[in-house]
Structure 1
Amino acid sequence: MMSNLFSIFDPSTNIFNLSLNWISAFIGILFIPYSFWLIPNRHFVLWNFILIKLHNEFKTLLKSNYFYGSTLIFISMFSFILFNNFLGLFPYIFTSTSHLTLSLSISLPLWLSFMIYGWLNNSQHMFIHMIPQGTPSILMPFMVMIETISNIIRPGTLAVRLTANMIAGHLLMTLLSSTGNNMNYYMILFLMLIQILLLILESAVAIIQSYVIAILSTLYSSEVN
């Protein structure tokens, strides 16, 4: 039962024994041509408005560390995760963000680049950041250990947060839909209403999780300077 239940996150889609699962992660590239239209449509105007709002917010979070183009990587990460989260809500489309393979591939290199840059260019600031101001001398070794561990697990928490939230909603919808065969007509109508509400909730989760990861990555980058 459990293997069948979790198989919704790893469908065996293939052509001539070539796996097509992870191709869904690149479907978001199809939205790029919208930015090159001579006459922008409503979709492009809305998306451009969202990107400008994100740019202003990320620029505020970066504060003195902001320079031209520094918000591009966080906006790109937000867009990539958002597209994949939404595509996973469609039937028969592989949900790539529900796998640690993808989420760790995003968070780990980003965190490593922040750490390498911080320790090479601002090592004194990185050491100071490990000991909060006003810490008693006897507690300093323990605070260094705690801050080091909390810093090391950051990419893991980013990846697990995204993966767990995407898996939870999909599992709940799958479990509810599997009970529809044993229900009468009125209960099926009620189940359809519940599924629609869950789908709306999952759409909100898709937006919130991509926004949270982009914001946390911006905050982590602002700590290395």
Structure 2
Amino acid sequence: MMANLFSSFDPITAFNLSLNWMSTLLGILFIPSMFWLIPSRWNFLWIKIINILHIEFKILIGKVKGSTLIFISLFSIILFNNFLGLFPYIFTSTSHLILTLSLALPLWLSFMIYGWTNHTTHMFAHLVPQGTPAILMPFMVCIETISNIIRPMTLAVRLAANMIAGHLLLTLLGNTGPMMSLILLNILIFTQILLLVLESAVAIIQSYVFAILSTLYSSETN
């Protein structure tokens, strides 16, 4: 039972080809071409969201021109893949660590290389919080170093675990449907609709959390 349940998240198809990863590019086919040609309501809504994110990221990062575009693009990619995974029979790429680590690890490495190369004293100062007693400084250095090293893993695991948890719950509840009576089946359908609404909110929140935490990590290196 558990093998069949988790096999729904297996990226390998019956032809032994990982074509399910093509779902990360499928959205290009769903977006109408008129969205890009003339101003529409969806276009205005998306521009409004980008402007809000730009203002928020700009406050955190500072006066580095163009740097907010990286995190807005990161937010857009994760949001798009999260929402695409809510459709039936479409592979949820953000539920796999191979994708989330591919996003988190290069960002964290670039922040660390830039920070330790250009702001070495500033990075050393971050290892010891202000006001730490002298006797606790060696322990604080170890704790801060470990917390810094596990940052890409926490980013990746948080996103993947939140995306896979809701899908597993939907799958488990959906498998019990054929064995239920009509009254319980109506309750199950209502519960599934509520869970889908919750998953839609989680898709937005987790993409925002991933982008905002990446922005905070980059601001520490400046």
Q: TM tier, shorter chain?
A: over 0.9
1:103 paired to 2:97? no
Count of residue pairs the alignment pairs up: 221
**Structure 2 matches for 1:1-225, cutoff 5 A?**
1-10=1-10, 12-13=12-13, 18-30=17-29, 31=31, 36-37=36-37, 39-63=38-62, 66-225=63-222
Q: Is the 8 A contact 1:85 1:166 kept in 2?
A: yes
Give the drift of 1:44.
Answer: 1.1
**Cα distance in 2, alignment partners of residues 23 and 2 from structure 1:** 26
**Cα distance in 2, alignment partners of residues 184 and 42 from structure 1:** 44
Poorly superposed stretches of 4+, deviation over 6 Å? none
Give the drift of 1:11.
Answer: 5.1
Q: Which runs of 5+ in 2 are unaligned?
A: none
Q: Which runs of 5+ in 1 are unaligned?
A: none
Give the drift of 1:27.
Answer: 2.4
**Cα distance in 2, alignment partners of residues 101 and 125 from structure 1:** 32
Query: What is the identity, as a one-letter code, of the residue corresponding to 1:162?
Result: L
Q: Is the 8 A contact 1:114 1:221 kept in 2?
A: yes
Give the drift of 1:25.
Answer: 1.3
Deviations along 1:68-87, one digit per CA (max 9) or x if unpaired, are: 21100000000000000000
**Cα distance in 2, alignment partners of residues 130 and 32 from structure 1:** 49
Give the drift of 1:105.
Answer: 0.3
**What is the TM-score normalised by the length of structure 1?**
0.94
Give the direction of change, closer, same or farther, for the CA distance of 1:181–1:36 in structure 2 (3 Å limit): closer
Deviations along 1:72-117, one digit per CA (max 9) or x if unpaired, are: 0000000000000000000110000000000000000000000000
Give the drift of 1:28.
Answer: 3.8
Aligned-CA RMSD value: 1.6
**Cα distance in 2, alignment partners of residues 35 and 85 from structure 1:** 21
**Cα distance in 1, alignment partners of residues 32 and 136 from structure 2:** 52
> What's the % identity of the aligned pairs?
70
Deviations along 1:129-184, one digit per CA (max 9) or x if unpaired, are: 10011111111111100000000000000000000000110010100011111111
Give the direction of change, closer, same or farther, for the CA distance of 1:108–1:192 in structure 2 (3 Å limit): same
* Secondary structure class of the residue paired with 1:186: helix
* Secondary structure class of the residue paired with 1:89: coil
**Cα distance in 2, alignment partners of residues 217 and 71 from structure 1:** 11
**Cα distance in 2, alignment partners of residues 48 and 32 from structure 1:** 16
Query: What is the identity, as a one-letter code, of the residue corresponding to 1:49?
Result: K
Q: Is the 8 A contact 1:61 1:218 kept in 2?
A: yes
Give the drift of 1:19.
Answer: 2.9
